Amino acid sequence: MQMEPKVNILLVDDKLENLLALEAILEKLGENLVRATSGEEALRCLLHQDFAVILLDVQMPGMDGFETATLIRNRGRSRHTPIIFLTAFSTSDQMLFKGYALGAVDYLLKPLDPNILTSKVIVFVELFKKTEAVKQQAAQLVAVNGSLRQSEERLRSLSTCSPVGIFEIDTEGGCRYTNPRYQAICGLKAAESLEKRWLESVHPEDRERAVLSWSNYICEGRDYSEEFRFQTAQGIIRWVQVRSSPMLSGQGELLGYVGTLEDITERKQAEEVRAQVIREQTARQEAEAANRMKDEFLAVLSHELRTPLTSMLGWSKILRSKKLDEKATSRALEAIERNATSQMQLIEDILDVSRIIRGQLRLNVSAVNLITVMEAALEAVRPLAEPKEIVLTTVLDTSVGSVYGDPARLQQIVWNLLTNAIKFTPKGGRVEVHLSVICDQEQQKTHKHAQIQVIDTGIGISPEFLPKVFERFRQADSTTTRSHNGLGLGLAIVRHLVELHKGTISAESPGTGEGATFTVRLPLLQDNRGNRGNREVTGEISSSVVSTPLAGLRVLVVDDEADTRNFLSFMFEEYGAFTTAVASVDEALAILEQAKTDILISDIGMSEQDGYTLIRKLRSLEPEKGGSIPAIALTAYTREEDRLEALSAGFQQHLSKPIDPTKLIAMVASVLKLPVQVPVS
């Protein structure tokens, strides 16, 4: 424990023995006793020290006690120092008055009573100590107040000059404080900022999100950080990042929330500029890649077209200029025919891709037996496999049902996959073809698909190229030294044809030199008819339909495209209806005059006279002559205004192309109010 500092007591007497006597009495106080043998010496002591009390002898040679006291009182530092006069003479009233007038606090007569002297000195020593303590506390208080004022001023300056807005909110949501930057961001005056919440300054389009996120923050009590657009009353819009944290007391009690608003508009603009630059760079890179791919494709196309032309033109000139024997002539004609066939296939691929890009590739659909399709494709590619001594192995499940599609296009899918496998399989290799049924479980329903797999032992596909194998104009090797010809269009065409048939295709390969497997899955007709009971249109028709919901119905089909007429006729007849199909409005009106018809199915876009002309002429007839026959419009025009125009012209229903058979059948049943549903297999 730190010892309390000693207090100074000044002893003034011209006689040494008196000083020694005073020291003997007061030394037990443990304070610092200072001697002075004259008034002059006493004054010198007062220059450097403060004293709790001065014991001053009155009778001293030279400067007596009264003169010394007068000088002590004239000094500001010692003006209030207590003085006790000591005298050996009886004190008259005159001396007492003079002493008290000079500021004396007491008179003591010699010889001194030690107890009285000690008790009086103790009083002034304690008083001095308390006074010093008060002074020290006052000084400390002044220092603390000064530090507080500096802190307050510093905080005020920081808040006023802060580059971010600062706010304080109580637990009820009332705003208790905002700084100038907060007011500027929100576009509010100081008084307004205390009346409105910052949420009211959020842009209307962001306000709902802001209110929700702030409500969640209040409930959860975590730190808050979100970005919103703010809009001032003057219409100024800026991006603002809002941050907030709970204010807690020392006992963990919630006092309110303190937060900041930071204008991040410049950062957002910079991010948008950067994003735009990245988008432009990406677009430029994609364009450059597309141009490179186009240039590579055109180079390959030139090569693939010129190569067969070289052989064809060469043999043609030889045939024209020389007379060849029968064997050489046959050889020349075979070469010309082989190269012409190759060139024709290239042109067909290019035309197919062009139709795909324009969305004009159409299917001539019907129920198709996949066994027949695959056997035809296998027979077509055997001449390609035999020169390379490639073994063709087939595992075909004859129980696989029919699919709904275009038989020619389905054969093209299989043929392309087989020729691709043969092309990339070295001499003496093997190509396997599998056809099977697989079942997929989806949403507690089982869906059956026909699965076609073509597996080869060829050069395989690298992991880098595998994701791009079905892209148009893509080839793993487009250099002039590549070992396999072709345009790289076959697999892209296959993928599109498979997707048109509502199927999927995938490619797998362990890697370069490890062969490849291509898998096609097509929905089976039985599976597609599975949900017809609830009149949802999800499937296709089957050639083996047992139920005939349109039995005996007389249907008139009008369409100027023969393929569409044949398809619709086949479809309606599969459902038991009697169908008459014609190609023009005049033919349709002639049929309507001659025979009773239950429903009219008419295309809109026809040459010479369109479907609108037909329905207007029909509706102008009397009911007994067919004027009230129900009619359904088929059209490739799919806008809402096209549908409304068809209905207003006199059609009962409107169905857009390509036609979904079950939708059309369901629509016919609905229009005629037939007491049957679309059949369930």
- Please, what sign has the CA dihedral across residues 421, 423, 424, 430? positive
Q: Quick one: pLDDT at residue 334?
A: 79
pLDDT at 680 over 50: no
Residue 633: pLDDT band with limits 50, 70, 90? very high
Strand partners, 655: 634
What's the Cα-to-Cα distance from 449 to each of 371, 378, 521, 607, rounded to whole Å?
14, 21, 6, 40
Judged against a pLDDT cut of 80, whether residue 531 lies above it is answered with no
Phi, psi of 238 (to 5 degrees): -145, 155
Enumerate the β-bridge partners of residue 238: 230
Greatest Cα pair distance, the chain, in angstroms, is: 176
Report residue 441's pLDDT band, with 50, 70 and 90 as the boundaries: low
Stated as kind and residue range, the H or E segment containing 522 is strand 516-523
Percent residues over pLDDT 70 in the chain: 85
DSSP sequence for 112-124 = P-HHHHHHHHHHH
| Higher pLDDT among residues 19 and 320, named by residue | 19
642-669: per-residue pLDDT in tens? 888 888 899 999 888 767 787 888 899 8
Residue 552 has pLDDT above 80, yes or no: yes
pLDDT score, position 235: 87
Q: Hey, which of 143-157, 395-409, 469-483 has the most confident mean pLDDT? A: 395-409
Given a contact cutoff of 8 angstroms between Cβ atoms, the answer to whether 269 and 252 are in contact is no
The mean predicted confidence, pLDDT, of the chain is: 81
For residues 386-410, give the mean pLDDT.
87
What's the average model confidence in pLDDT over 153-175? 81
Strand blocks (E) in 314-444 = 366-369, 391-396, 402-405, 430-442
Confidence band for 399, pLDDT divided at 50, 70 and 90: confident
Does the model's pTM come out above 0.85? no
> Side chain identity at 633, as an amino acid letter?
A
Nearest C-alpha neighbor of 401 from the set 541, 504, 500:
541
pLDDT in tens, 289-340: 777 767 656 665 665 566 567 667 778 878 887 777 888 888 888 778 777 7
**Is the pLDDT at 544 greater than 50, yes or no?**
no
Residue 482's pLDDT is: 37
**pLDDT at position 474, please?**
53
For residue range 464-500, what is the model confidence (pLDDT) as tens digits? Answer: 888 888 876 554 444 332 334 444 577 888 888 888 8
In this prediction, residue 138 carries a pLDDT of: 87
Question: What is the mean predicted confidence (pLDDT) over 447-462?
Answer: 89
What structural domains and CATH numbers belong to the chain? 8-137 (3.40.50.2300), 162-263 (3.30.450.20), 286-355 (1.10.287.130), 364-528 (3.30.565.10), 548-671 (3.40.50.2300)
Task: Give the model's pLDDT for residue 436.
Answer: 92
Which residues are registered as beta bridge partners of 104?
Answer: 83
Query: Any idea which of 65-79, 321-335, 423-437, 555-569 has the lowest mean pLDDT?
Result: 321-335
Q: What is the mean pLDDT of residues 412-433?
A: 89
Task: List, for residues 165-220, the tens digit of each pLDDT value.
Answer: 889 988 888 888 888 888 888 888 888 888 888 888 999 999 999 999 998 888 88
Count of CB atoms within 10 A of residue 69's CB? Answer: 24
pLDDT at 548: 65
DSSP 524: B
Nearest to 457 by CA among 486, 421, 488: 421
Give me the mean pLDDT over the 511-537 stretch: 65
Mean pLDDT, rounded, for 142-155: 78
Q: Given a cut of 90, is residue 76 above it in pLDDT?
A: no
- How many CA atoms lie less than 13 Å away from 14 in the CB half-sphere? 14
Evaluate if residue 385 carries a pLDDT over 80: yes
Residues 6+ apart with CB under 8 A from 177: 166, 167, 168, 194
Q: One-letter amino acid identity for 39?
A: G
Has residue 448 got a pLDDT over 90?
Answer: no
- pLDDT recorded at residue 540: 36
The three-class DSSP label of residue 131 is helix
Instruction: Select the more confidently predicted residue: 243 or 325.
Output: 243
Q: Between β-strands 631-635 and 653-656, what pairing exists: parallel, antiparallel or unpaired?
A: parallel
Share of the chain above pLDDT 90, in %: 22
Q: State both tokens at 681.
A: 């297999």
Asked if 492 and 468 count as a contact pair (C-beta separation under 8 A), the reply is no
Q: Residue 293 has which token pair?
A: 């791919």
CB atoms within 10 A of CB 64: 15
**Which pLDDT tens digit goes with each residue over 264-275?**
999 999 999 999
Instruction: Please report, for residues 305, 379, 412, the alpha-carbon distance to residue 422 in angstroms, rounded to integers and kept in the order given.
Output: 21, 13, 15
**Band (530; pLDDT cuts 50, 70, 90):** very low
Specify the higher pLDDT residue, 277 or 106: 277
Give the pair of three-digit tokens for residue 589. Answer: 């009106």
Assess contact for 259 and 226: CB atoms under 8 A: no
Q: What is the pLDDT of residue 576?
A: 84
Q: What is the pLDDT of residue 296?
A: 57
